[in-house]
Amino acid sequence: MALINLPDFSGELLSEFAARKTERVDTPVIQPAEPFLDIAGEDLRRRIFMTESETGVSLCLRPEFTIPVCLRHIESATGTPKRYSYLGEVFRQRREGGNEFYQAGIEDLGDINIAAADARAIGDAIGVLECVVPGKHLSVTLGDQAVFEAVVQALGLPLGWQKRLIHAFGNMSQLEALLASLVSPQFVTGLSDEIAHLIAADDEAALVTHIDATMQATGYSTNASRSPLEIARRLKEKLILSETRLDDAAFRVLEEFLSLNVPLINASAALAGFADAAGLKLGNALARFDGRVAALANAGVDLSLIDYRAAFGRPLDYYTGLVFEIGVKGMSPVLAGGGRFDRLMTLLGAKDRIPAVGFSLWLDRIEAERAA
């Protein structure tokens, strides 16, 4: 695979990163595939380039930097807080064409002042872009997965449905399909009378015994990826989910929430008004949202650049709260994107919970904007 040329503004980027007191790191181009397959999400999984080691271990070409930087931090047993920066090639299939391009960015690990760290990430991304695309009017779209999760939880849906909806956050077509199936449930068919009876009787032990016997009789057990207990519980959950219906009032509440699209300066009032009108208690999620807005203002970030869109998310499963993207106003290419990923470090093997936030810059898109 031929290397592409490093953008001519790379020196400016590295100077900006150094001025923000970050430590530049590099990571191997060949990465273990498992973290990306398990954690990054379906959107990235289907676009990465897979290979294998001589011993059959699944590997991939580095499709992004956040997971490799976090793994490096864990392996090096470095304390936090820690601010890393990176600049290098990533490899994945792109919708706009091309499989290889440069990314740069900052990962901010371990700052327990969540609002200040979120504000710093957005401020740094804006500041770096203002340096490398001077004179352009930037526009920031901000979303918050934690607020969406709070709304879904406050509606009292079964945990399985909450997980499905939260997993779909940021993918509007998938979210709409799930909501449609909640409004008009499709009941489970194809279950044998005995299994249906055991599920209805809530007799888990008998259901597990029946499934195990069936697996033994068919010879399936030796190749099964799930145990009889796991299968039993998945069948029960599937049946419960299929029988759950979202009433019209709750559906309208979700529709109203997802339609919120306001300047950030008005977003706190809009969310509080929505919660009051819907009778939902969103407590901590709204308090954290308000704290971030205040931190952005205190950091000197121009709030007029930022719009809050309730339905906005980013297609990586490890985000937990803030998500944002930045581009030139009126133009479609995203030049920078990022967010908060507080669960990722633990999922990758860190012994303690490490709050984290960061952003990436798409250098080829920035280069095209500089030439425009």
107 contacts 356 by C-beta, under 8 angstroms: yes
Whole-number pLDDT of residue 249? 86
Q: Among candidates 369, 340, 368, which has minimal Cα distance to 355?
A: 340
Residue 64 annotated as binding? yes
Q: Which amino acid is at 16?
A: E
Would strands 100-109 and 30-32 be described as parallel, antiparallel, or unpaired? unpaired
Residue 24 annotated as binding? no
Residue 93 annotated as binding? no
87: number of Cβ within 10 Å: 20
pTM: 0.83
Mention every residue, 6+ apart, whose C-beta is less than 8 A from residue 180. Answer: none
What backbone phi and psi angles, to 5 degrees, belong to 87? -155, 120
* Predicted confidence pLDDT, tens digits, the chain (372 residues): 445 788 999 999 999 999 999 999 999 999 999 999 888 877 778 889 998 888 889 999 999 999 999 999 999 988 889 999 999 999 998 877 778 999 999 999 999 999 999 999 999 999 999 999 999 999 999 999 999 999 999 998 878 778 888 888 888 888 888 888 777 655 555 566 677 667 666 777 887 787 777 777 776 654 445 677 777 666 666 665 555 667 788 889 999 999 999 999 999 999 999 999 999 999 899 999 999 999 999 999 999 999 999 999 987 788 999 999 999 998 889 999 999 999 999 999 999 999 999 999 999 999 999 998
Residue 107 annotated as binding? yes
324 contacts 140 by C-beta, under 8 angstroms: yes
What backbone phi and psi angles, to 5 degrees, belong to 51? -150, -175
Residue 92 annotated as binding? yes
What residue ranges do the domains of the chain occupy?
A: 10-150+267-371, 193-242
Burial 321-344 (b: 16+ CB within 10 A, else e): bbbbbbbbeeeeebbbbbbbbbbb
The CATH superfamily holding the domain 10-150+267-371 is Bira Bifunctional Protein; Domain 2 (3.30.930.10)
Residue 65 annotated as binding? yes
